[in-house]
């Protein structure tokens, strides 16, 4: 549809024909849609009305015929049916069935004998039965109760035709189409006349704009038209008058921007030393982390491997002795080797998480923080760890997620090492395009001025500053520590 519309506009060529196409084609489309909808809705509405009418007539006839059918008075029912057929031209035939679906009465109109019914409706004929029961009670007078039951004694089936209703709707449809077509022709005539008047003024305006685009100073337009077109012609005249002044202003702006660029270049050269200093601090931090990992590998992993080697040698010696008592020692030593292997695996995972928290890719930021606190709870069961996060999270960049994870990790590490706390709390939520993280503990606290040079707090501040966020640290000796971090959700996507 879009390609067809564009091809029609290209084929129309001039602006006038494009305006006519823009006005006439949607009107034609609306006209066709209304005609199609009215035509399709005609049959649907007629059938719905016919169905409701047939159900109403069948129900009424069933109620009127209940007593006569129960008494076997078919003549009375026949008179009612014949009167109904004469008064309602939409009914072709009426059939009365007994309780076992046997036809006991069938009456059809003259047109119903040669025409197929468009719709059939049925209604059940029920005979009301009253049951009265007497119950004896402890008193002298008994209690009476009556129950109403309805027994099915037959069915009314009515065959209906929609010809009369369709003919009436077709006549109404034809009158509506005629009126709508006349209105469409009048609107097309009005559009043709108005488009010619509009395009003449626009053509003059376009010629002036072409001259301005080629660098020429055109003649001023005589703004005789009123409304938007006259305002457009006046605007073109004002634009033409202001071109020279705009050129002078542009030259002045170019000179000013050139001066600013030179100043920016000088500032960039001055900032190179600061960048070198920052890079030096970054490399120093990386080397310290590598040294820490190397120490852990040497002190923990290597020591565990040496212990495993000694236990394995002892198992070999016990196996060579052939002493039955040695079997229990072998089992005990094998269990020790398995425990050391689990410890090695756990230490290896901790080192990998220090290098890159892959749990972020699997669980997301909230899940990774919750998992970090769960592991901390296992390693330090005496402490209580609380975590709270909202259910729905906006999409976070990798840089923002890793930085928030590292900040929380550093705060948890400091609390477990130095705070001697009983409770550690971490709340995480998003508010007004900001990622808010509140961390607190009830430990021994510290003096912020004395701890400001610590590598942990300094690293947290640098990560927050790199993301253009804010960090607030409140601590007091003996009163725990509270940290509030605010990071922009959309300011660190790169």
* Domain contains 385: yes
| Residue range 5-31: mean pLDDT, rounded | 65
Percent of the chain with pLDDT over 70: 69
pLDDT given for residue 486 in this prediction: 93
**Is residue 89 one of the residues assigned to a domain?**
yes
**What is the CATH number for 14?**
3.30.450
Rounded Cα distance between 130 and 5, Å, is 73
Residue 268 lies in a domain: no
Q: Is residue 448 part of a domain?
A: yes
Quote the domain boundaries for residue 9: 4-135+144-169
pLDDT of residue 237: 75
Q: Quote the CA–CA distance of 461 and 473 in Å, as a whole number.
A: 10
Backbone φ and ψ of 110, nearest 5°:
-65, -40
Residue 88: exposed, middle, or buried by beta-carbon count in 10 A (0-12, 13-18, 19+)? Answer: middle
CATH number for 477: 3.30.565.10
The pLDDT assigned to 122 comes to 87
pLDDT in tens, 134-172: 555 444 454 555 555 567 888 888 888 877 777 777 777
**How buried is 22 (Cβ within 10 angstroms: 0-12 exposed, 13-18 middle, 19+ buried)?**
middle
- Pick from 159, 158, 155, 58: which is nearest to 98 by CA? 155
Q: How does the average pLDDT of the chain come out, rounded?
A: 76
Number of structural domains (the chain) is 2
Is this prediction's pTM over 0.85? Answer: no
**Alpha-carbon span 5 to 10, nearest angstrom:** 9
Q: What is the pLDDT of residue 438?
A: 93
Per-residue pLDDT, 15: 63
**Comparison of pLDDT for 282 and 18, the residue scoring more:** 18
Tokens 């043709």, residue?
Answer: 192
- Quick check: is 491 in a domain? yes
DSSP line for 273-323 = HHHHHHHHHHHHHHHHHHHHHHHHIIIIIHHHHHHHHHHHHHHHHHHHH--
Whether 83 is covered by a domain: the verdict is yes
429 is a domain residue: yes
pLDDT tens-digit series, residues 369-410: 888 899 889 888 889 999 999 877 778 888 888 888 889 988
The answer to whether position 182 is within a domain reads no
CB 156 within 8 A of CB 61: yes
- Contact between 174 and 184 under an 8 Å Cβ cutoff? The reply is no
Gap between the Cα atoms of 433 and 137, Å rounded: 78
CA 162 to each of CA 33, 117, 416: distance values in angstroms, whole numbers, following the listed order: 25, 8, 86
Q: What is the pLDDT of residue 428?
A: 92
364: left (phi over 0), alpha (psi -120 to 50) or beta: left
Kindly tell me the number of DSSP H helices and DSSP E strands found in the chain.
12, 9
The sign of the torsion formed by the CA atoms of 11, 14, 18, 20 equals negative
pLDDT digits (tens, 9 = 90+) for 300-330: 666 666 677 677 776 777 766 666 666 677 7
Give the pLDDT band of residue 23 (cuts 50, 70, 90). confident
Distance in angstroms between the alpha carbons of the first and the last residue of the chain: 40
3-class secondary structure, 109: coil
Helix (H) or strand (E) holding 93: strand 91-98
């Amino acid at each position: 549809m879009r390609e067809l519309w564009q091809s029609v506009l290209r084929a129309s060529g001039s602006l006038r024909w494009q305006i006519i196409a823009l006005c006439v084609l949607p009107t034609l489309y609306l006209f066709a849609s209304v005609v199609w909808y009215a035509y399709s809705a005609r049959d649907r509405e007629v059938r719905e009305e016919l169905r409701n009418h047939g159900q109403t007539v069948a129900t009424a006839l069933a109620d009127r015929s209940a007593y006569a059918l129960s008494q076997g008075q078919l003549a009375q029912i026949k008179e009612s049916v014949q009167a109904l057929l004469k008064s309602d031209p939409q009914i072709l035939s009426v059939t009365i069935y007994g309780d076992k679906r046997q036809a006991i009465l069938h009456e059809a109109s003259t047109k119903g004998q040669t025409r197929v019914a468009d719709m059939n409706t049925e209604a059940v004929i029920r005979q009301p039965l009253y049951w009265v029961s007497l119950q004896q009670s402890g008193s002298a007078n008994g209690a009476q109760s009556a129950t109403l039951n309805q027994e099915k004694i037959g069915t009314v089936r009515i065959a209906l035709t929609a010809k009369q209703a369709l003919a009436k709707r077709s006549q109404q449809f034809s009158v509506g189409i005629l009126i709508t077509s006349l209105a469409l022709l009048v609107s097309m005539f009005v559009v043709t006349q108005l488009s010619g008047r509009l395009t003449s003024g626009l053509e003059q305006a376009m010629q002036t704009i072409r001259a301005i685009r080629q660098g020429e100073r055109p003649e001023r337009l005589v703004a005789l038209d009123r409304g938007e077109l006259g305002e457009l012609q006046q605007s073109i005249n004002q634009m033409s008058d202001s071109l020279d002044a705009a050129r002078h202003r542009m030259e002045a702006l170019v000179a000013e921007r050139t001066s600013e660029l030179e100043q920016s270049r000088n500032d960039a050269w001055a900032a190179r030393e600061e960048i070198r200093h920052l890079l030096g601090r970054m490399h120093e931090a990386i080397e310290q982390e590598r040294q820490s990992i190397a120490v852990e590998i040497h002190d923990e992993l290597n020591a565990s491997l040496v212990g495993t080697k000694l236990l394995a040698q002892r198992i070999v010696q016990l196996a060579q002795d052939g002493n039955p008592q040695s079997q229990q020692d072998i089992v005990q030593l094998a269990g020790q080797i398995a425990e050391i292997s689990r410890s090695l695996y756990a230490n290896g995972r901790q080192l990998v998480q220090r290098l890159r928290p892959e749990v972020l890719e699997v669980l997301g930021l909230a899940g990774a923080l919750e998992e970090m606190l769960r592991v901390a709870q296992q390693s330090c069961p005496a402490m209580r760890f609380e975590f709270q996060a909202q259910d729905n999270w906006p999409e976070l960049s990798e840089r923002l997620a890793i930085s928030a994870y590292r900040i929380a990790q550093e705060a948890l590490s400091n609390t477990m090492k130095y705070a001697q706390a009983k409770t550690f709390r971490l709340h995480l939520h998003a508010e007004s395009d900001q990622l808010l993280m509140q961390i607190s503990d009830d430990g021994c606290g510290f003096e912020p001025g004395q701890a400001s040079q610590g590598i942990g707090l300094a690293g947290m501040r640098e990560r927050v500053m790199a993301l253009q966020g804010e960090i607030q640290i409140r601590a007091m000796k003996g009163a725990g520590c509270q940290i509030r971090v605010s990071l922009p959700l959309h300011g660190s996507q790169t």
